[in-house]
Chains A and B, each alone.
Chain A
């Protein structure tokens, strides 16, 4: 055990640490503090160690059989070293002291730093008392409470049976579930020392219906963090009804006629419009790359005055909820836009250092193979003052985008996203189903065209891909009206 901060460099190979192998607890303080000290002694400006353990399982039911049960176990660590403006990220599967030291040495050497001479003193970094969000909230008990393999199978088969009952012209029925249990420990040379457990679960349906040449495929997914009983509380009957109804309507839908339309976008997953058109562009990662038109607009009006938007990590059990980010900072509630005026950006540690915007607990990553970057958590447009009727009656001819697919935003601020379920609006009324629509636009322009927000905010789970991998996020909004947008179709 390390007993003194007066450690000599040549003593490192003889050190014996006894960290708890099955749990990230206080026993990791000494080896991590030593490694951080070693990095600082070598000349690094800042070092961060991210340790991760994951227990993942997915289950797939197809028609009336369970066709896949796939457990996956992983452990790994990422070492990030900063020197001046440059930084280096090294990842490894080896969590032994020598394995972590080898990764640190590689990171140091890449940045041109040399290990101290054998007789040099290695200062131990004084880490804070372990901030243990897992113990504080009883998260260590979560994993054993989660559904067993047998229970997963029963729930999913019950789900596909419900689909069979509710839908017509069914070609294939699928129910999918995954449970992702993740334990993380973060220690950095500024004294950060924090642990957390995240439990993310998702369950959903994919339904393919076909009648001659007419085909409709629809998916629907529910997601949750922090509730070990989530799968037991999933209402598969209601979910089956909803997806069967959507598929039935879209099976015989006409292709949308392309053009420029006013649109009304439903709440829930409709929030993907804000996620793509604006959310990504408020990440400091985008400021660093000069790929956001909003970089110098803080305090200025960038959106219609009807629009207020938040990004936060604290919504109870929402898919993007985190107690702390992947840099050990407590998650906070961040006001992004207030009545059209840009208030804040989303900043991780590096983004904050490089752009000057304060950290917001937004440093996130898919796993230990990625360095953290500024990423969204639960992101939504806040409720407005209008009723849904107000929105519809304001549209003579337009499109109701009831269910959104995925989307993306490019380096110039151009965004796009697809619509899985759409309807024509004529004289304020929904008249017929439409398919094949994709919406494209430019962030700067569209934000001023979101002119009406109703009062029915709802959020929905989603997966967000960016520089630090694929992460769990929430999108959300009330029903909104976009005055005009380009709709691609046939």
Chain B
């Protein structure tokens, strides 16, 4: 398997050989290993070493074509370039994607390099210990049906025919545990947790075990909840899931495509409670998977999306930035049609709330820990959602697990109905965020 520099050089050589004058290439190689266990035995080990590149080629008429390939030997790269060239004659004639004006801009803060991978036997051993501890945490916990411990090395590059060359490497290790209970005469209950870090040594496996056990045990005594309107507290992960589901709000490409809840004129408009600030911040210190450039080679950065409830900016590719007469933001993926997506949310508040709220003192609020089936229950273009969730009815600090319920509402109304943004942020896979209190939402139980 060629390494990332060999792939990059070979791609460039092939483009030159084919007489392709304008092109850019984004590629990556991933070397990962993951393990699963089942009742004290290794279940499956997966290892993968794979590469892929996406090439864009502009023809003499300046229309563009694209091809992706995993054949990263010289022959495969040559075929990909030829295919992209052929496709270029069917490319868009207006607003043709172009190189990012920042593809050669210097990058100040490069994320850290790779760390050595641990032996597979060590991964299995650590996961077996985690499973054992989780099973011992409570007699009702009978299994950990979903679990995994993985480590991954990622190398990425971007280059173009104008001389841009970027490479970067980093390592990740992650663990997830999802346990299930069985008790006579009761329904099975389940819950899980996830941790990620740069290396296995820094991975908080014990924290993952504890969170999984605590959550699972807290769901043992469950009750139906009466259908009605409730004050709702979203966990950091739940709120970021919802924010992610409606990310078209900030997506400049979606706005241009009429596929957004925002319009180009909405900048400066108050769309949320003044308590809410939202940044997209790929380089946030807590983002262990931070990448310093996007699929077009644009450096990533902190982008302020909402300040004091006011919509302040959108996420841009090179193409959308040009059409909005602004700068790209490092959120693009390479492609025939360049897509834009958030990197890492940072949600917080700078305002002083009218009153401090706490789950220790609040009465009959719903604490939503995990939203499910977002792919089905979020109507991103309508602004509405109706989602099953895991959570508790909390009354003066006493948590009672809720059996089988849904939460429904309109996301723009949710943003306006935020009454409290807690101070303590928590790290989730999608960003950092504190608990978010919303005045009232529809809950369907019995």
Contact assessment for A418 and B377 in the assembled complex, using a CB-CB cutoff below 8 Å: yes
Least distance between A21 CB and chain B CB atoms (Å): 9
Complex partner residue of B41 from A86, A110, A111, A438, CB under 8 angstroms:
A86
Contact assessment for A291 and B180 in the assembled complex, using a CB-CB cutoff below 8 Å: yes
**Residue of A258, A259, A417 contacting most chain B CB atoms (<10 Å):** A258
Complex partner residue of A416 from B70, B83, B227, B376, CB under 8 angstroms:
B376
Contact assessment for B47 and A110 in the assembled complex, using a CB-CB cutoff below 8 Å: yes
Chain B window 348-383, contacts with chain A (Cβ cutoff 8 Å), 1 for yes, 0 for no: 000000000000000000000000110111010111
Contact assessment for B92 and A412 in the assembled complex, using a CB-CB cutoff below 8 Å: no
A91 to B50, CA, bound (A): 7
Q: Is the interface of A mostly helix, strand, loop or mixed?
A: strand
**A interface size (C-beta, 8 A):** 74
Does B102 make an interface contact (CB < 8 A)? no
List the A side residues contacting B323 at CB < 8 Å: none
Least distance between A46 CB and chain B CB atoms (Å): 14
A87 to B381, CA, bound (A): 44
List the B side residues contacting A72 at CB < 8 Å: 67-69
Name which of A61-69, A325-333, A448-456 contacts chain B.
A61-69
**Residue of B80, B259, B377, B409 contacting most chain A CB atoms (<10 Å):** B377
A146 to B338, CA, bound (A): 26
Chain A window 269-281, contacts with chain B (Cβ cutoff 8 Å), 1 for yes, 0 for no: 0000000000000
Contact assessment for A288 and B408 in the assembled complex, using a CB-CB cutoff below 8 Å: no
Given contacts A75-B70, A258-B444, whether A69 and B145 have CB atoms under 8 Å apart is no
A408 to B180, CA, bound (A): 17
Contact assessment for B408 and A73 in the assembled complex, using a CB-CB cutoff below 8 Å: no
Does B439 make an interface contact (CB < 8 A)? no
Does A208 make an interface contact (CB < 8 A)? yes
Which residue in chain A gives the minimum CB-CB distance to B30? A369
Contact assessment for A412 and B180 in the assembled complex, using a CB-CB cutoff below 8 Å: yes
A85 to B45, CA, bound (A): 12
Contact assessment for A65 and B94 in the assembled complex, using a CB-CB cutoff below 8 Å: yes
List the A side residues contacting B47 at CB < 8 Å: 88-91, 106-107, 110
List the B side residues contacting A74 at CB < 8 Å: 52, 68-71
Contact assessment for B180 and A89 in the assembled complex, using a CB-CB cutoff below 8 Å: no
Which residue in chain A gives the minimum CB-CB distance to B228? A258
Given contacts A171-B258, A411-B145, whether A111 and B45 have CB atoms under 8 Å apart is yes
Given contacts A90-B48, A406-B376, whether A259 and B66 have CB atoms under 8 Å apart is no
Which residue in chain A gives the minimum CB-CB distance to B227? A258
**Residue of B42, B84, B336, B386 contacting most chain A CB atoms (<10 Å):** B386
Contact assessment for A438 and B44 in the assembled complex, using a CB-CB cutoff below 8 Å: no
Chain B window 177-221, contacts with chain A (Cβ cutoff 8 Å), 1 for yes, 0 for no: 010100000011110000000000000000000000000000000
List the A side residues contacting B309 at CB < 8 Å: none
Which residue in chain A gives the minimum CB-CB distance to B50? A93
List the A side residues contacting B423 at CB < 8 Å: none
Chain A window 470-489, contacts with chain B (Cβ cutoff 8 Å), 1 for yes, 0 for no: 00000000000000001111
Contact assessment for A414 and B48 in the assembled complex, using a CB-CB cutoff below 8 Å: no
Which residue in chain B gives the minimum CB-CB distance to A99? B1
Contact assessment for A208 and B258 in the assembled complex, using a CB-CB cutoff below 8 Å: yes
A417 to B336, CA, bound (A): 33
Given contacts A106-B47, A149-B87, A410-B190, whether A417 and B384 have CB atoms under 8 Å apart is no
Given contacts A93-B70, A290-B180, A488-B388, whether A215 and B381 have CB atoms under 8 Å apart is yes
List the A side residues contacting B46 at CB < 8 Å: 88-91, 371
Does B3 make an interface contact (CB < 8 A)? no
Contact assessment for A488 and B406 in the assembled complex, using a CB-CB cutoff below 8 Å: yes
Which residue in chain A gives the minimum CB-CB distance to B338? A68
Does B65 make an interface contact (CB < 8 A)? yes
Which residue in chain B gives the minimum CB-CB distance to A57? B87
Which residue in chain A gives the minimum CB-CB distance to B188? A412
A465 to B229, CA, bound (A): 33
A258 to B79, CA, bound (A): 55
A85 to B336, CA, bound (A): 45
Least distance between A118 CB and chain B CB atoms (Å): 25
Contact assessment for B373 and A408 in the assembled complex, using a CB-CB cutoff below 8 Å: yes
Contact assessment for A215 and B382 in the assembled complex, using a CB-CB cutoff below 8 Å: yes
Contact assessment for B80 and A411 in the assembled complex, using a CB-CB cutoff below 8 Å: no
**B interface size (C-beta, 8 A):** 75
List the B side residues contacting A66 at CB < 8 Å: 90, 92
Given contacts A71-B87, A74-B70, A489-B408, whether A260 and B376 have CB atoms under 8 Å apart is no
Q: Which of A343-399 contact B (CB under 8 A)?
A: 369, 371
A70 to B92, CA, bound (A): 12
List the A side residues contacting B87 at CB < 8 Å: 69, 71, 149
Contact assessment for B259 and A260 in the assembled complex, using a CB-CB cutoff below 8 Å: no
Given contacts A291-B145, A440-B404, A486-B444, whether A73 and B91 have CB atoms under 8 Å apart is no
Contact assessment for A172 and B258 in the assembled complex, using a CB-CB cutoff below 8 Å: yes
A94 to B52, CA, bound (A): 12
List the B side residues contacting A258 at CB < 8 Å: 227, 406, 408, 442, 444
List the B side residues contacting A85 at CB < 8 Å: 41-42
Given contacts A290-B145, A416-B372, whether A489 and B444 have CB atoms under 8 Å apart is yes
Given contacts A65-B94, A92-B48, A490-B409, whether A86 and B372 have CB atoms under 8 Å apart is no
Complex partner residue of B377 from A68, A76, A438, CB under 8 angstroms:
A438
Complex partner residue of A67 from B51, B92, B146, CB under 8 angstroms:
B92
Does B335 make an interface contact (CB < 8 A)? yes
List the A side residues contacting B337 at CB < 8 Å: 60, 67-68, 70
Contact assessment for B259 and A208 in the assembled complex, using a CB-CB cutoff below 8 Å: yes
Does B43 make an interface contact (CB < 8 A)? yes
Q: List 19 A-B contacts (CB under 8 A).
A: A67-B337, A68-B337, A69-B65, A76-B50, A88-B45, A93-B52, A93-B70, A110-B33, A153-B90, A172-B257, A259-B444, A291-B180, A371-B46, A405-B376, A408-B372, A436-B386, A438-B373, A488-B388, A488-B408
List residues of chain A with CB under 8 Å of any chain B CB: 60, 62, 65-76, 85-94, 99, 103, 106-107, 110-112, 149-150, 153, 171-172, 208, 215-217, 255, 258-260, 288-291, 369, 371, 405-408, 410-414, 416-418, 435-438, 440-442, 486-490
- Given A259-B444, A436-B408, 14 additional A-B pairs, CB 8 A: A60-B337, A67-B337, A69-B91, A70-B336, A72-B67, A73-B80, A89-B44, A90-B47, A93-B52, A93-B72, A150-B90, A172-B257, A290-B180, A490-B386
